[in-house]
Amino acid sequence: MRSERLRAWLVVVSAALFLVALLFHGYHLVAFTEQLMRLAAGALR
């Protein structure tokens, strides 16, 4: 029983970690894309 709960926690924690990483990465990816867009617009000058 304990082993089952441990295994469940392992999966949950790793999944939560993955979600956090996904959000972190996504947030910065969007910011980076915005930066690229600004760069493209700025190059017009």
Partner 1 sequence: MFGLAPSVTACAALALIVSLVTLVVGWRSWRGEAQTVGPGLEVLCCVVNAAALLFAYHHVFSVGLAARGPTLSRVGLAVSVLLERFGSLMPLTVLLPSLAAIAIALSWAGRMRLVQATPRVGWLVVAVVLFLGSIGAFVSGFSAYTASTTQPTAWQDRVAAAEEARYSLRRGAMVASLAVLAAALAVLQSRRTRRTQSHWAFTVVPTLLFGGGAAALFWYGRSLAAENARPVSMSYAYANTSLSVTPSAGMSGVGPDELVEAPLVLLRGDAIELDGQALKGGVELREGLRRRRALWQDMRKGEHHPGNVIVDASPDVPIKILAERLAHIRDSGHPNLRFRLTDSHTDVRPVLGTIVGSSFSAALVTLATMLGDCGAAPFEVVRLTSRWRSSKELVDAVVAERRAQKRVCVIPAGPHCRGDLADCFSRDFEVIRYAASMDALRARLDGGELDFVFLRGDTRLELLGRGTALAEVQKRTFAFNAPGAEAVRPWTRTENQIDALTFMRVASGPTLLETTTVIPEADDDKAMRTGAGLDADRQLVVFTFSTVPVTRHALATALLAVGCDEAIELAKGTLWVQLPALERTPQAQAFASGPFLALPSHE
Helix (H) or strand (E) holding 15: helix 2-42
Q: Judged by CB under 8 A, which of 1, 2, 3, 5 binds partner 1?
A: 3
Whole-angstrom CA distances from 36 to 24, 28, 31 are: 18, 12, 9
Token representation of residue 8:
């469940």
Can residue 42 be called a binding residue for partner 1 (CB under 8 A)?
Answer: yes
CB of 12 to partner 1, least distance (A): 9
Residues that bind partner 1 in the complex, under the rule CB under 8 A = 3-4, 7, 10-11, 14-15, 17-18, 20-22, 24-25, 27-29, 31-33, 35-45
